[in-house]
Amino acid sequence: GSQRVRPDAIFCTLSPVEPSLLTDQLRTNDNEVTERSDDHFIIGTQYLYLFFRLHQVLVRRLNIAKDISSSVCKNNELRRHIDRLTYEGDPNEGTIRYEAFLSLVYSLVETGTGLNEEPEGAKFEDRVRYLLGNDSYELATMDKLISHILKHLQHMANDETLQNMIEIYRRHKLAGSFKPSAFREEAALMSEGENMYAFQICNVSKLHQKILYFEYLGCIAEDIEDDVDADRDDSKRGLDDVAMEEAEQVSKRPRRGP
User: Residue 83: which of 64, 103, 55, 63 has the closest Cα?
Assistant: 103
pLDDT at 172: 94
Number of C-beta neighbours around residue 254 at 10 A = 6
User: Residue 10: which of 80, 136, 106 has the closest Cα?
Assistant: 106
Q: What is the DSSP-derived secondary structure letter of residue 42?
A: E
pLDDT of 114 higher than 70:
no
CA 62 from chain centre, in angstroms, equals 16
Least confident of 10-19, 23-32, 161-170, 213-222: 10-19
Going by pLDDT thresholds of 50, 70 and 90, the confidence category of residue 11 is low
Q: What is the pLDDT of residues 153-167, one digit of tens each?
A: 999 989 999 999 999
Task: Return the bridge partners of 195, or none.
Answer: 219
pLDDT of 58 higher than 70:
yes
Q: What is the pTM of this model?
A: 0.74
Cβ-count burial of 96 within 10 angstroms (0-12 exposed, 13-18 middle, 19+ buried)? middle
Give residues with Cβ within 8 angstroms of 141, minimum separation 6. 125
Instruction: Please state, in angstroms and as integers, the Cα–Cα distance from residue 163 to each residue in 80, 169, 224, 236, following that order.
Output: 51, 10, 20, 26
Give residues with Cβ within 8 angstroms of 193, minimum separation 6. 219, 221
CA 237 from chain centre, in angstroms, equals 36
